[in-house]
Each structure stands twice: as C-alpha cells, then as structure tokens.
A = this chain, B = another copy of it.
Amino acid sequence: MIGKLINDRVRADKQAMNELYNTGYYGRPKKDGLELALVEAVYLLSRNRLEIELDGHMMDFAGLFKIASMRQKYFELKYIVYRDLRERGFYVQSSVTDLRVYPRGGHPGKTPARSFVHVQSERVPLPLEELLHYLNAAENVRKQMILAVVDEDSDITYYEVARNKPQGAMEAIYPNIHANATFLEDRVVLWDGEPSHTLYENGLYGKLLDSERLQLSLVEGGFLMKNSIIEMSDRAGKIMDFEDFIQKASEIEPEFLQKYNVYEDIRNRKMVAKTGFKFGTHFRVYDQIQSPSKIPHSEYLIHSIAEEHEFTLPVMSRAIRLANSVRKRMLFAVNGRNGIEYIDIGRIKM
C-alpha cells in the first residue's frame, strides 16, 4: 500500500481504510480515502505497513524522518511519544493537544478518548498559561490531561495535570490572645511564655526558641497580626501596621505577598502550612494537627507561583519526584484574578 506525502499529511486510497483504519485505527477517514498524520505515516513505514511516495519517488525511513522533522515542529518528540503509546497497546489519534489516547480496550467509534496528551521537550520552558490552556481544553470535554515530557536521552515521563481543591479539618482556634511580638531581622519573636505555648500547641504556629519564646515565620507573623492575635513592633519598639509589615517582609523576600496569599488561603481551608524548605518548596501542608507532639504525615507540598510563571521542566520534574518519594502530592498554587487555584501535577504510568 502506498501513501502520498502532501504538506504535513499523507493521503492513502480507500483500500487503506480497510487495511489501516479498520484494523488499527490509523488516520482519519475522509471521503476519498484515508488521511494520516506524519507520526502515523512514519510509524507505519517503520513497520513496513505503508510505503510513502513523494514526487514520484519512494522514500526510505531516514529520508521521510528528516522531511517530517522539517515539516512539523517537534516532530521527533511527537513521534517518540506516539510510538511509545502505540507499542504499549493504546489506540492514539492526533488532536489539538498533540495526541488523543483511547482507554485500554477502547477505540475510535466504540469508546470516547480518555486522555489528551501534550508533548513537551525537557529543554523548552512551559508557560503556566499554556499549560492551563491545554488543561482547560481537556477539562471542557471531560478528558484527562497528560503532559508527556521527552528528555535528552529520549525517555518519556508522563504527568497527569488536574485541578485540586484541598480542604483540611483544622478548626481555627483563635484564643483570646493579644500578645506582643517583635519583627527582628528576618523573623518574628513572641516574648511571653503563655501566648507562645498557646499558639504553638493549638495551631502549630512557630517554633519554640526556648521554654518561653516563640519564633514565628514571616507568613505566620503576618497572619496572626491580620487576625489581631499579636501586635507587632520593630526592633526599636515602634508599632507596625499590616501594610508596614508587608512592605518590610517584601524587602526581605521579593515574592512575599504571593506566598503570604497562599498561606492565608491554606489556613482558611482549615489546613496547616509549615515551611517546605527541606523539600525545596514554599510549604508542606497538613490536613489537621492535634498537637505538636503527634505531628502526622503531611499531605501536600505546595509551591506558590504567579500567573506569569514559566515551568522549567527539570525543576518541575525534581519537585514532583521529591514530593512523590515522600508520599506527598505536589500542588502549584496560582495567584490568579479569582483567588488561589491549585494545580496538581503527578507522575503516572501509562
């Protein structure tokens, strides 16, 4: 059987309908024959199921591959992923987000596709906006969104991308405290023993410096200040208002406000956030903590990002791998116009 290469498509006659579409769901049936995407045509050539003609000559694999690579952006990557999914036994069709994958046992005409796959090189940064565009395209038709990242060694890592609305069970206990705290160089200290112990034991705020004093992180200090639990002074004793605080904290940490917004949202979702420094993220997050003496496993690592964020794939890969290695989900918290939105990205096996 012969197909003709025309631009970035291969056209085969009606016979191909029987031999390729009806047996393996390759290509898309058209009125006068079958239309194949480049990845399909190259794959069928490699399996000796189709010959490809260009300008009256039959092409060899290398020749077709080089031309395909020139006619379609990131053809090599798409081919590597297409081939991998086919060899794993999935029926795959081309789609708006590169590939559309049918569930095991399903195929076009029998079942709807299950997943939209976007293929990405490890080397090319992925803007959040673009990722959300693919995610929305998939969600709008109730498909799973899969990101297939092809690395330098041509290995593929598959990630599922989804929205998440985490919710905890930690009732906010704001005891009747009005304690004094000092904004030191880059953290906050509460000097009195009683409020220190109460805040530490009821809400896991801060860390005890010694038996009497509590050190608070900047986000904790800001949150308690906004909720009128503590009164904040600077080192010279001057009382600070919340605006002064945000300004000073932003001088120490340029992305402070973005991070603070996520911290506040997490507390409002009845969860407890502590620093995720040891995991390289902003927060590790607990559904509930009964007491500092029995701290449970934390559910999530959460990293706050801006709407204009660009994912660097090796960095994203490391964050997710590390989260998964300690049995946590990795969520990216987007500071958007409609509040905080959580994007859950996790490695999956196809």
Contact = CB atoms under 8 A, between A and B. Distances in A.
Nearest to A47: B210
Contacts of A186: 76-77, 121, 123
- Chain A contact patch, size range: 35 or more
A280 B69 contact: no
A131 B76 CA distance: 41
Nearest to A256: B123
A210 B319 CA distance: 31
A154 interface: yes
A275 interface: yes
Given A69-B184, A186-B76, A321-B322, A152 B235 contact: no
Contacts of A248: none
A277 B317 contact: yes
Contacts of A74: 185
Nearest to A208: B154
A235 B184 contact: no
Contact of A66 (B121, B182, B277): B182
Interface of A: 46, 61-62, 65-66, 69-70, 73-77, 80, 83, 121-123, 149, 151-155, 157, 182, 184-187, 189, 191, 206-207, 209-210, 213, 215, 217-219, 235-236, 252-253, 274-281, 313-315, 317-319, 321-322, 325-326
27 contacts: A46-B210, A62-B182, A62-B191, A69-B185, A76-B184, A76-B185, A77-B186, A121-B186, A122-B275, A152-B187, A152-B217, A152-B275, A152-B277, A154-B187, A154-B206, A157-B277, A276-B314, A277-B317, A279-B317, A279-B318, A279-B321, A280-B317, A280-B318, A315-B315, A318-B318, A321-B322, A325-B326
